Structures are given as structure tokens and as C-alpha cells.
Structure 1
Amino acid sequence: MRAQLEKLAEPTYKAFTEKLVETKYEILGVRIPTLRQLAKDIVRTDWQAFIEQPKTTFEEMMLEGFVIASVNIPVEERFVFIEAFIKKIDNWSLCDSFCSSLKITKKYPQEMWNFLMTLRHESHPFVLRFIIVMMLMYYLSDEWIARVFQELQLIQHDDYYVKMAIAWAISIAFIKQEEKTRHFLQTAVLDDFTFHKALQKIRESRKVSGDVKEELKQWKRVK
């Protein structure tokens, strides 16, 4: 697989990715759409053998995530593969791309939520980020929003990528559920960094009016 990926690699894209992603895995420089197409090919072959192979590159890891997300297996069996995979993640790009690929969540929201709740005890920052990003991508509806807010308050970790994920989740929630998110921001127990980053991300959104952005400037905590 590595040899195939090396043929598809682009030096300029490699340099671009290396500036954005800090990882222990070697970055070759293969674009995401190309990796998604490769994953489709792998799913039609011996995909389990591919998953079991040791991986040293960022692209191989991305492929593994795409395969796990798309292969046709029972949902409970998929959770076994998901849990093993997310514990190998060491960067935001692998995490977030994997989450966006797990469209199966729309079919099994309760089962996925139950699975996410089994991971809450983990201290691995990218397992926690996985939980948060899954919630912001699939669980900001009326049915789930209260539970999402409750869980966001319970996740306590000093890692930058965990805190930024919480801020991101709050900003998306504000766009989708403004009044409920306003109440959450006014009552939630959030550290100053996460609170201010959430406000910043809300103000950066094109979907938020200028008046609201001006109002949120006044919410800044003063020490």
C-alpha cells in the first residue's frame, strides 16, 4: 500500500499538510478525495487484512479510518474497530476526517451515543476530541442538545485540541440552537480559554449577525 500511496503523493500537498498537522506518522502528501476512493477499493477486497497491517504513514491511517467507517458490518462490530482506531489517533485531521466519515451515526444515533458514553473515562486527548466532534457533527438537534451540553461540561482536559473542540462544538450549537446555547454559555462551568474561544468562533461565523457579534464582545470575562 505504501508504494501505491507514494505514486499518488504530491510534494506541494505534502508540504502544505505538514504545516497544518503535527503527527508522529510520516506524511506523504496524498489528497483526501484520492484516499476516499482507495478506501472504497479496499472495502471490496480483504479489508480486515489491511486494517491489521502495521501503519507508519498519515495516509495509511486515514485510509484505515475511511475503511472502518464505510465497510458493511453490524454496528456493534464496527464499534470494536472504532475504539481500536481512535486510540491510535494523534492529530486533529485524522480525528475530524474520521468523524465526518461515520455517516452510519445518522442511522444508529442511540447506539452511537451509547458507545460514545463508554469512552468518557478515557484520558487520551484525541479520544475525547473524537467524542466532542461526533457530538457537534451529529447530535445538535432538539432531541440531543441538552445531553450534549451536559457532556461538554463534564469533559475536563488541558489539551489544546480538546478545548478547541469544545469551543467549536459550542459555536456550531449557537448557529443551530441559539437560545439554548446562550443559556448554556451563561450558566455552564467552562474555563476562560474555552469560553473565550467559543465566543471567538461564534463571532467568526458568517451565519451570525453583526449585532449579535457586537453583543458577544461584551460577554468577555474580565479578570
Structure 2
Amino acid sequence: MKIQEELFALRDEGYAAFQAKLIPGVPTTRIIGVQVPELRKLAKRYYKDPEHCRFLRTLPHDYYDEDLLHALLIAEEKDFACCLEETEAFLPFVDNWAVCDIFSPKAFSKHKEELLERIRVWAKSEKTYTCRFGIGMLMQHFLDADFDAAYLEIPAAVQSEEYYVNMMLAWFFATALAKQWEATIPYLENKRLARWTHNKAIQKARESYRISAEQKEYLKSLKC
């Protein structure tokens, strides 16, 4: 209750109304309206307080803002094993893109091999936001120095009717085109993705400043 009271003390009703428009699947009664910078401050403070452990055990939460805070608290956990355990416990309760996308544990960056094993599992999940989270983690951690062309098969194998999964897939491949063009472009040339995802990835890539004018024109020719 202490945490919930603090959240309500930070309530911004205008921000709550704004958030409600961005996450239409979340009832407005679940949105307190705490701005993200304030939530980040709370997460850093509460991580040092034993109170946060009890909070992490209290699932599901009553409010969307509590879910955001939960994700940010896990992100503060430095011990990888503990972080992964908390992540697995929380993922089934993630029910919107905003909580999913703010959820980025810092400990993951130093344990790539173990993380990749879990990404393979998450990406196969039938739960929308577990799958989205897995693809997001692959995009965040494996498109730069740790990239392997074989990793592109993980998102390419995902087949879903869920909008929020397919939007993440499009975002992933657009980012992959910007960072790893040669390895990624065959997935568009050979039409390996579902039509909507294929075209959305092209759209997002063509909107990117990291894609050259010549590449953008070529991508335009690949639309279907």
C-alpha cells in the first residue's frame, strides 16, 4: 500500500488521459497517470528498500502504473539469475505494449548466451507480450557486436495474427536492415515474412535516417 499511495501522490490526470489513448486495451480505471521519469526515480529508490520484494510478489497488480514500476524494478536487479527469475514470473502478467517495451533488464547485457536461450523460448510463446518481449530483446542485444545472421531465423519463424507481435516483427526487421543490411535484405527479397509484416518493415525502414536513399528506393520495389 505504501507504493500505491506514492503513485497516487504523483498522479497527473492529463497524462493519464494521454496514456489511455495510447493503450486502448487497458481500462482507464487502471491508469493512475504517473510520468515515466517519476517511475524511474521510484524504481531506483525502492530497489534499495526491502519493501520492493513484497511488491514484486504481489501479482497481478491493480494498476497499469504498478506494472510499469514492476518492470523498472526488475531492470534494476544486477544478479542475472534473480533477474531472469523475476522476469519469468512477471511476463505472464504483461498485457500491453507499453509495459512490454519499457521492460529492459540491465543484467541481460552481460549474459548474452543465457539470454539467447530464453529469447528462443519467449519468441515461440503464444502469449502476445511474451513473444513481443523476446523479439524486442533480440533486437536490443543481438543486432550489433553479437550479431549472427542465423539469429534472424528466430523472428522469421514467428507466425502470428496478433497486431502487437507483427508490429514488433516489422520493427525488428526494419532495425536489422539499418544495422545488418546484407544479412537481412534476403528476407524481404524472398518474401519470408507475412505480407502485412513485410510491407510494414519496408515502411518503417524507409522512414529511417539510417537507411540510404538508394536502399530506400530498392525497398520500395520490394513492396507486395
| Same fold at TM > 0.5 | yes
Identity %, equivalent residues: 31
Q: Does 1:103 align with 2:109?
A: no
Structure 1, gaps ≥5 residues long: none
In structure 1, the partner of 2:118 is 115
Q: Does 1:4 align with 2:10?
A: no
Q: Does 1:30 align with 2:16?
A: no
Measured in 2, the distance between the counterparts of 1:134 and 1:188 equals 24
Q: Does 1:194 align with 2:197?
A: yes
Structure 1 segments of 4 or more deviating over 3 A? Answer: none
Q: Does 1:43 align with 2:47?
A: yes
Measured in 1, the distance between the counterparts of 2:32 and 2:151 equals 36
Amino acid in structure 1 at the alignment position of 2:153? Q
Shift of residue 2, structure 1, vs aligned partner: 1.9
> SS of the residue aligned with 1:119?
helix
Measured in 1, the distance between the counterparts of 2:208 and 2:148 equals 20
Count of residue pairs brought into register by the alignment: 218
In structure 2, the partner of 1:79 is 84
> SS of the residue aligned with 2:9?
helix
- TM-score between both structures, scaled by the size of structure 2: 0.91
In structure 2, the partner of 1:66 is 72
Structure 2, gaps ≥5 residues long: none
Measured in 2, the distance between the counterparts of 1:120 and 1:209 equals 30
Shift of residue 142, structure 1, vs aligned partner: 5.5
Q: How does 1:211-222 map to 2 (within 5 A)?
A: 211-221=214-224
Say what the alpha-carbon RMSD is for the aligned residues.
1.6
**Kindly tell me: are residues 142 and 70 of structure 1, through their superposed partners in 2, closer, same or farther at Cα, counting changes over 3 Å?**
closer
Selected match of 2:209 from 173, 188, 206:
206
Q: Does 1:154 align with 2:157?
A: yes
Shift of residue 120, structure 1, vs aligned partner: 4.0
Aligned partners of 2:170 and 2:197 also within 8 Å? yes
Aligned partners of 1:43 and 1:67 also within 8 Å? yes
- TM-score between both structures, scaled by the size of structure 1: 0.91
Shift of residue 118, structure 1, vs aligned partner: 3.0
